[in-house]
Amino acid sequence: DAKTTQPPSMDCAEGRAANLPCNHSTISGNEYVYWYRQIHSQGPQYIIHGLKNNETNEMASLIITEDRKSSTLILPHATLRDTAVYYCIVRALTGTASKLTFGTGTRLQVTL
């Protein structure tokens, strides 16, 4: 699976949009971009995933650049409960389920 690079930490004011970048310049054509978050030692929580089109669900939006070398997770209106470590994971889905490889993630701190 391709390696990802994320900033170690970010701050965001409550109510503002949180934009979390991820670089995956060596991504292959069959690899998806997945985002998970881990809130203070809880189990990781799935957020969203995408291949090349932008995706949106009730939690977040995922913007993938046209060349797929980077992506941005957007939390449109961050709340204090969004404070967590956010992991960007690139993963090939080949018809056989496979492990997730977690990096160090971005620690997002949402403040008042």
Partner 1 sequence: NAGVMQNPRHLVRRRGQEARLRCSPMKGHSHVYWYRQLPEEGLKFMVYLQKENIIDESGMPKERFSAEFPKEGPSILRIQQVVRGDSAAYFCASSPPLAGIIEQETQYFGPGTRLLVL
Binding partner 1 (rule: CB under 8 A), the pick from 10, 16, 19, 49 is 49
Smallest gap from Cβ 3 to partner 1, in A, equals 13
CA–CA dist 7, 21 (Å, integer): 7
Nearest to 90 by CA among 82, 104, 100, 75: 100
DSSP 26: T
Q: With binding defined as CB under 8 A, does residue 53 bind partner 1? A: no
Q: With binding defined as CB under 8 A, does residue 21 bind partner 1? A: no
Q: With binding defined as CB under 8 A, does residue 58 bind partner 1? A: no
For 80, list phi and psi in degrees, rounded to 5: -60, -30
Given the rule CB under 8 A, which residues bind partner 1?
A: 32, 34, 36, 38, 41-46, 49, 51, 87, 93, 95-105
